[in-house]
Amino acid sequence: MTPKELIGQGRTALGIEFGSTRIKGVLIDYEGNVLAVGEHVWENHLENGIWTYPLSEVDEGLRSCYSALRNDVKEKYGIVPETFGAIGVSAMMHGYIALDKDDRQLAPFQTWRNTNTTEAADELTGLFQFNIPLRWSAAHLYQRMLDEEAHVKEVASVFTLAAYVHYKLTGQKVIGVGDAAGMFPIDSDALDYDEGMVQKFDALMTKKGYALKLREVFPKVLVAGQDAGVLTEAGAALIDETGALKAGIPLCPPEGDAGTGMVATNSVAPRTGNLSAGTSTFAMVVLEKQLDELHREIDMVTTPSGFPCAMSHANNGTSDLNAWVGLFKEFCDLMGIEADMGKLFGKLYTNSLKGDPDCGGLLPYGYYSGENITFINEGRPLFVRTPNSVFNLANFMRANLYTSIGAVKLGMDILLKDEGVKLDRIMGHGGLFKTPGVMQRYLAAAVNTPVTVMATASEGGAWGIALLAAYLADGKRDGKLEDYLDKRIFAQLTGDAVEPDPADVEGFEVFTKHYVAGLPIETAAIEAVDW
């Protein structure tokens, strides 16, 4: 069947992912081929010390993204889509969206970027003997109790962003297990919130004077392939203001960007891993067994099927890197040089390969916000060098590329060196890997493991959630999620693997020593720079 026939008959899957800087929609067939794409650019706001997005912008961004995708379909195939085999929604994990019994918003949406939950995270980690990161929804909810915020007594629902959008589209208060693992600890055998910890949390809330029960407030946990409801009339109108989109379309469980990254890189089986590079940067490793020790730097989450995963999650990724490239674009404009941003990124990244393996002693920190892996609760972007540093453009760019995964490397060192976790391959995806052979080479050096990047790498999580929707619609006949991905999606896809270069590995280790040694500079900057 032609793409036009597939779209006309609804034999397609739509994935929409709410990322930090863009909302992206991807339409695919059941073999994973991309048929159309739509995007909407947005940006978080720092309001009263809280990183947030107004929920009105969530609605507007969803409509804008879908409108762009619908127009792409019409331009390419001459038709307007009316239905799909399934839809999937994913988004940035963690955070706090609190609604009352009438679904009214009670407090500002707190994103993963907020690190104002130290007291709650520390207490819950001690109570559970399980790492509760600052950005997890449980930490946000409990911190609101510790701060005695008045709205907590009215809380009827707490959502992640993906679960919230899914609820608006379907009326179903559910969440995929991978996204749920960023709200509260998961029991991978039961594929549900850990019951022993649920009881401890409920008792803690009671002790604090609240009548809330976690299972009543948090969404119900589902795994890949399970029924998660259908698009309602109100949901269809929310997505498509033209009225062309019909209600009744099945939705797969909403997932977080970590889970969709795993799917998009076929990293859902033990001893596989992936690194997603964006505004935040995180590496996922699917484990053969649980870790021996509790590490505050490592999140324990799951794949969309429920396999245990270790996550090294850095709040800060490419924001400062992008800002520097923007500065170079401004210089080009000043000099009357026409410079396309895509070409500028490519030129600067490729030129970094001429730099020294240790970046010549240059040391940037792209800390726009606090960084949990290094236990720093605020951010001050910095660039540090000594009089003896080799300060040239190649080293400058190489250092900024290194530091974009600097904190993630510290977490990966715990897994690979301290815990002895086995990793056969790691996949890179996200826009940082668009320039061939650059970030792939640096990541291989950071983890001393072969790194593969596929042609689909830049499609990222939106393609991943579209695959989860396709799995619901047509893929379960192939068996488990990992079977569907192996047999139908990745069997014909090829990717270029890069082996770690010993000189790069040694250079990245030197850079990492500088990175760790310089952390007190970041702490001092937070104390000194407060304007």
Q: Are residues 155 and 227 in the same domain?
A: yes
Q: Are residues 235 and 310 in the same domain?
A: no
Within a domain: 81: no
Q: What percent of the chain has pLDDT over 90?
A: 81
User: How many helices (DSSP H) and strands (DSSP E) are in the chain?
Assistant: 19, 22
Which amino acid would we find at residue 404?
S
Looking at residue 213, its pLDDT comes to 97
Final residue belonging to a domain, choices 255, 271, 295: 255
pTM above 0.85, yes or no: no
Confidence of residue 453 (pLDDT cuts 50, 70, 90): confident
Confidence of residue 224 (pLDDT cuts 50, 70, 90): very high
Confidence of residue 458 (pLDDT cuts 50, 70, 90): low
Q: Are residues 376 and 480 in the same domain?
A: no
Within a domain: 487: yes
- C-alpha span between 209 and 502 (Å, rounded): 58
Within a domain: 209: yes
pLDDT digit string, tens, across residues 94-139: 999 999 999 999 999 999 888 899 999 999 999 999 999 999 999 9
Residue 517, C-beta contacts closer than 8 angstroms, at least 6 positions apart:
none
pLDDT digit string, tens, across residues 253-300: 999 998 998 898 888 888 889 888 888 888 999 998 888 889 999 999
In 3D space, the residue among 281, 269, 294 whose CA is nearest the CA of residue 447 turns out to be 281
Q: Are residues 149 and 226 in the same domain?
A: yes
What sign does the dihedral 150-152-157-162 (CA atoms) show? positive
pLDDT reading at 154 higher than 90 = yes
Q: Are residues 419 and 485 in the same domain?
A: yes
With tokens 């994935």, the residue in question is: 15
The mean per-residue pLDDT over the stretch 180-188 comes to 95
Within a domain: 51: no
Question: Which region among 183-192, 266-275, 448-457 has the lowest average model confidence (pLDDT)?
Answer: 448-457
Q: Are residues 476 and 389 in the same domain?
A: no
Q: Are residues 274 and 422 in the same domain?
A: yes
Residue count (the chain): 531
Q: Are residues 277 and 335 in the same domain?
A: no
pLDDT digit string, tens, across residues 473-488: 999 988 999 899 988 9
CATH classification at residue 98: 3.30.420.40
pLDDT digit string, tens, across residues 416-437: 999 999 888 898 877 788 898 9
- C-alpha span between 204 and 208 (Å, rounded): 6
Partnered with residue 311 across adjacent β-strands are 284, 299
pLDDT reading at 491 higher than 90 = no
Q: Are residues 204 and 225 in the same domain?
A: yes
Confidence of residue 303 (pLDDT cuts 50, 70, 90): very high
Q: What percent of the chain has pLDDT over 70?
A: 99
Beta strands in 142-198 (DSSP E): 157-159, 174-176, 186-187, 192-193
Q: Are residues 262 and 354 in the same domain?
A: no
- C-alpha span between 288 and 272 (Å, rounded): 10
C-alpha torsion angle, residues 170, 171, 173, 179 (rounded to 10): 30
What sign does the dihedral 190-113-46-16 (CA atoms) show? negative
Within a domain: 57: no
Q: What is the mean pLDDT of the chain?
A: 94
pLDDT reading at 233 higher than 90 = yes
Q: Are residues 493 and 513 in the same domain?
A: no
Within a domain: 466: yes
Confidence of residue 460 (pLDDT cuts 50, 70, 90): confident
Find the domain containing 228 and state its range: 90-255
